[in-house]
Amino acid sequence: MEVLQQLILGFSVALTPTNLFYCFVGVFIGTLIGVLPGFGPTAGIAILIPVSLSLPPTTALIMLAGIYYGSMYGGSTTAILINTPGEAASIPTALDGYKMARQGRAGPALGMAAISSFIAGTFSIVGLMLLAPPLASVALAFGPPEYFSLMFLGLTMVASLAGKSLIKGLLAGLFGILLSTIGMDPISGSERFSYGNPDLLSGIDFISVVVGLFAISEILINAEESMVGVYETKLKGLFPTIQDWIDCKWALVRSSIFGFLIGLLPGASASIAAFICYDLEKKFSKHPEKFGEGAIEGVAAAEGANNAAVGGGMVPLLTLGIPPSAPLAILLGALMIHGLRPGPLLFTQNPDFVWGLIASMYIGNIMLLVLNLPLVGFWASMIKIPYPILAPIVLSLCVIGAYGARNNMLDVWVALIFGVIGFFMRKLDFPSAPVVLALVLAPMVENALRQSLTISRGNILIFMMRPISAVLLILAAISLFLSIYTRMKKSSKVQALIESSSTD
Amino acid sequence: MRKKAGLILFPKFFYFLLTVFLLVSLELPPSGLAQEYPTKTIQLIVPFPPGGSTDLTGRFVATYLSKKWGQTISVVNKPGAGGTTGVMFALRSKNDGYTMLMDVISAGTLNPAIEGKLPYKWDEPTLVARTNISPLVFFVKGDSHWRNLREVLEDVKKDPEKFTYGTSGLGGPSTFSIAQLLEAAGIDPTKVARVVLQGGAPTVTNVAGGHVDFASQNLSEVISMIQAKKIKGLAVTTPQRVKQLPDIPTSKEAGYPAYKLVGWNGIAGPANLPDYVIKKWDQGIREIMNDPAFVEDMERIGAPVSYMGPKDWKAVLEEEYKSAMKFAEKLGLRK
Amino acid sequence: MKRANIIGALIILLFSVLFTVEAKKMPLFEGASPGPGFIPFWIGGLVMILSFGLLLQSLRMDPQKGKVPFMEKKHGLKDIVYITLSLFAYCGLILLVGYPISTFLFLLFLMKAVGKYSYKFSLGISIMATAALQGIFNYWLEMALPKGILIPL
């Protein structure tokens, strides 16, 4: 089989000592950077591009790809340990992973994150290998109406992330949408809600909101207790149990497949894949109410999806030269600096590069696992640092993280303000995840909506007239319906429980 | 007794450590002597996120000049508001030559033409030297029935409202070049639907997928898709054909010489930049232009070098700004 | 808790009214497609309606249901205020004197005021942590941290 031959060629490229070394360096540094709150793959790759410039192209790309994987994993680590997702894709991981950490199950959470990342990542690389060229044409079929429907599908997840009160969840999501409109409108150029302030003109960066809403507010909430005993200090095991594996098996399968498919759509980033697969798992689960309270399946689904999306994202990058997300855009820039021009001809013109890269992605995944599983114990024990010492340091890291996204002090103030807002939101039972979800998705939804209506000259039916878009919208409707239905079923189940207990 | 001793010892020790610490972190102030510029790290502000064409250009310039001057030039990305954030940051920095700007056509002349309330004027930054141009390429879907530019424009002229074109942003070179072209063909640009997309890559995929009919984008953004025949290039805006795509006629050859907007990058600085800074950079850029490695690197990212000194460049930009203002008003873009 | 909920709903309501009013000033349509004001206006309106609904829901809330007071332990309030104020002061300080000094002072303050550690311990940890942070970000990653105006560090 030709593919196998190519792959062997690729491994011969990837397994040279230099390339192996730099793969390791990339994964290691990437993980370290990802562990810092607010830093995710985008920052990691951007910071290390200058270093990669002095290396030969294939080696440089292998290192950068390692950084990408590493920082995604690092972002998950902070998500689980201190409720600070390194980037949007780790938010669902934080929802359940952090709860698990509080319960003393940081080890299993971290372990499951690593392993599901590996499994899903490997799967997506296989998919990339076998299906890249045909999938590229699928990617091209996505125009603005299809994007609108896809993002809209993502937004319906707000309903399932809403927690106890649907109205509060909806308000949180809508708030996120409003936040996303601050700044310069990308389509008409008018300034919205920025009142002449050039910093506000660049809009609210979601990293600062994430850092504020998740990390800073968490510390403020914990400050109310006497700052001791935040984490259940007795670590309940370092690895997922057999029962955990049984619970997660379908999550792994589903998140691998769907994460890959969603990841390959240009414009769909790993975060969308993570959210949708998390929600998917919740819908398929027999105990949806466990999600958000420490369900390991949530971690498996989210982590699997975001790594699968990396492989999927490489499809349009390598075959069309279209980077589907910010970190891959930087990767693309790095490629161009090294004189490689991704596109349909990359596979034929530079096969050793492409297959070397693919092979090193396998190796990177393995290295991630080998590197991080032993470190799970290390990271988990970081929590043992007394909270009054850990918290101020984390706060300082948050300040850097918020600043580092765009080198803009405004982002730090935003993070602080959202830390306070997040504190009050927690107190009043408003969920935080919908805010960030909406903040990330709403701009894309709005743009896609306006672009589609420009194309159709104002005809709303365009969304239903195009097959892919129509299918996605129907899925969105089903998703909404299911979320609301589960919610009602849950409350009637609870009602029944209350009634049955009160008759005792 | 021990406690008291601790109190006495400690503050001194503490101050000592603090002083050491501060000294280590301090950067010595520049000597300020013109002959010795640069004496410390220079920040080159790139008003866009990493990976884009301006960013890559900035990184190349920084790398080559750093080597030449023996002093680090570090690229700092300050993205936001289509380039405005970065420009404002540079303008507000000290004009000592240690903060410079990698300028680009959109932030330089096009945004000021569109946005009346932009916080800076086009001629506020000190223009030092142009580094390169970015040819634009007009293209349609790969399997489209149109074979040349004339066919496209004739069809559009017959029924403009039936057609759509994509632009990579709201007022960048893509929009203005299409406006130039349509006007030259006698078509009212406002009649054809303009779909504003986010960036060059989506614009290319949208044309390749047939969601919009045509577009005009930077060379670097279209090369690979053209080579793979997913899109078809019908004209370039430069006076000569482009090396990487020799089969595409120039706009003049295609019959529409007015379609001639090219993007550019150049070095600029805060207002009232001292002469010795301008001279140093101008000379530095001229020198790296003669470095074949630099030239080749820039070619690879689709930004062929094209030096222009401060005075000439300013004159060209003034022309460009006026023309952009005209189109901005005509297209109803100006606010 | 009921009072807190009501206040919260009112704040959201107020915010949404402001937003919607501002949004109305922008064009709602541009040609055939929505303009910049479209989404903010309608979403703002939706928030107004929902927050009003939340207000009603809060008003009807049974004050006895789950007697969860807003702030559980009063002494926690002091810590929270300390942390919040010092965070803002910290960032302001960074703009004046740069990252290293501010971080050092910030850590020191929190460890003393909230962590209630001894001076010696707090100083030690603060110095070490600041050095480590400065080392990682300034030297190793070469990130540009905001420079202070008074003392450019």
Cα of C98 to nearest chain A Cα, Å? 12
pLDDT at A495: 60
Is C70 an 8 Å CB contact of chain B? no
Q: pLDDT tens across B86-124, in order?
A: 999 999 998 888 999 999 998 899 888 888 778 899 989
Please report the pLDDT score of residue B285 as a whole number: 93
Q: Tell me the nearest-neighbour CA distance from B288 into chain C, angstroms.
A: 26
Angle between helices C99-113 and B2-25 (to 10 degrees): 150
Q: Is the bond leading into B38 cis (omega within 30 degrees of zero)? A: yes
Indicate yes or no: CB of B49 within 8 angstroms of CB of A329. Answer: yes
Residue A418: domain span: 2-501
| CB spacing of C153 vs B43 below 8 angstroms | no
Q: Are the Cβ atoms of A389 and C125 closer than 8 angstroms? A: yes
Q: Which residues contact B264 (CB under 8 A, 6 or more apart)?
A: B104, B105, B108, B130, B131, B132, B133, B134, B306
C124 by Cβ neighbours in 10 Å (0-12 / 13-18 / 19+) ranks as middle
> Which of A443, A453, A368 is closest to A186 using CA atoms?
A443
Q: Which residues of A touch C93 (CB under 8 A)?
A: none
CA distance B75 to chain C (A): 10
Chain B contact set for C102 (CB, 8 A): none
Chain A neighbours (≥3 Cβ pairs under 8 A) are B, C
| A344 vs B: CB within 8 A | yes
pLDDT band at A499 (very low <50, low <70, confident <90, very high): low
Closest CA to C38 of B191, B180, A445, A73: A445
Contact C83/A168, CB-based, under 8 Å? no
Task: Give CA separation, A328 vs A60, A64, A120, A177, B183, in Å.
Answer: 14, 10, 18, 25, 37
What single string gives the DSSP state of each residue in A36-64? STT--HHHHHHHHHHHHTTS-HHHHHHHH
Q: Do C127 and B21 touch (CB under 8 A)?
A: yes
In this structure, the answer to whether residues C20 and C48 fall within a common structural domain is yes
pTM for this structure? 0.80
Cβ–Cβ below 8 Å for A171 and C141: no
| pLDDT > 90: percent of chain A | 5
Question: Of C60, C85, C106, which marks where a domain is finished?
Answer: C60
Q: Does A53 touch chain B (CB under 8 A)?
A: yes
Most confident of A205-214, A260-269, B47-56, C9-18: C9-18
* Dihedral angle computed from the Cα positions of residues C106, C107, C112 and C118, in that order, rounded to the nearest 10 degrees: -140
Which of B84, B164, B224 comes nearest A198 by C-beta?
B84
ipTM of the modeled complex: 0.88
Those chains having 3 or more beta-carbon pairs within 8 angstroms of chain B are: A, C
The answer as to whether C153 is a domain residue is no
**Cβ distance of A333 and B209 shorter than 8 Å:** no
Pairing of strands B42-46, B99-104: parallel
Same domain, C44 and C9: yes
**CA separation for the pair A90, A80 (Å, rounded):** 9
Q: How far apart are CA C109 and CA A20, in angstroms?
A: 45
Beta bridge partners of B242: B245
Residue ending a domain, among C60, C85, C110, is C60
Question: Is position C65 within any domain?
Answer: no
Q: Does A409 touch chain B (CB under 8 A)?
A: no
| pLDDT band for position A350 (cuts 50, 70, 90) | confident
User: Is a pLDDT exceeding 60 seen at residue A140?
Assistant: yes
Number of domains in chain C: 2
Q: Is the pLDDT of residue A497 over 70?
A: no
Out of B6, B14, B26, whose CB is closest to C153? B26
In a domain, C151, yes or no: no
Size of interface A-B (CB pairs under 8 A): 163
Q: Where does the pLDDT of residue B127 fall: very low under 50, low under 70, confident under 90, or very high at 90 and above?
A: very high
pLDDT at B331: 77
How many C-alpha atoms does B91 have within 13 Å on its Cβ side? Answer: 19
Mean pLDDT of B303-331: 89
Please tell me the distance in Å from C62's CA to the nearest CA on chain A: 15
pLDDT score for B153: 92
Average pLDDT of chain A is 79
Contacts of B197 in chain A (CB under 8 A): 144, 451
Whether C150 is in a domain gets the answer no
Measure in Å the smallest separation between the Cα of B128 and chain A Cα atoms. 24
- Among A380-394, B299-313, B320-334, C21-35, the minimum mean pLDDT is found in A380-394
DSSP assigned state of A230:
S
Q: Is there a contact between B81 and A196 if contact means CB atoms under 8 Å apart? A: no
Tokens of C89: 């002061």
CA A113-A119-A122 angle, to 5 degrees, is 130
* Residues in chain B within 8 Å Cβ distance of A341: 223-224, 300
Residue C149 lies in a domain: no
Q: How far off is chain A from B19, nearest CA to CA, in Å?
A: 22
Query: Count of domains in chain A?
Result: 1
Q: Is C17 on the interface with A (CB under 8 A)?
A: no
Percent of chain A with pLDDT over 70: 87
Coil, strand or helix: which one is A432? coil
Q: Is the pLDDT of residue A485 over 90?
A: no
Same domain for C76 and C36, yes or no, is no
On whether both C79 and C135 belong to a single domain, the answer is yes
Question: Highest mean pLDDT: which of A199-203, C33-37, C75-79?
Answer: C33-37
Are A323 and B76 within 8 A, CB to CB?
no
CA separation for the pair A471, B250 (Å, rounded) = 43
Q: Is residue C152 part of a domain?
A: no
Cβ-defined contact of C153 to B14 (cutoff 8 Å): no
Q: Which chain B residues are Cβ-neighbours of A323 within 8 angstroms?
A: 51, 201
What number is the average pLDDT over the span A433-455? 87
Q: Which band of pLDDT confidence, cut at 50, 70 and 90, is reported for residue B169?
A: confident
Determine the 3-state secondary structure of A192 from DSSP: strand
Per-residue pLDDT at B323 exceeds 80: yes
Please report whether residue C146 resides in a domain.
no
Domain ranges, residue C96: 71-140
Write the DSSP symbol of residue C115: T
Would you state the pLDDT for residue C65? 57
Co-location of C81 and C54 in the same domain: no
The pLDDT tens digits for A216-258 are: 888 888 777 655 555 655 566 667 778 888 878 888 888 888 8
Q: A160 pLDDT exceeds 50?
A: yes
Whether residues C130 and C76 fall in one domain:
yes
Q: Do A343 and B198 touch (CB under 8 A)?
A: no
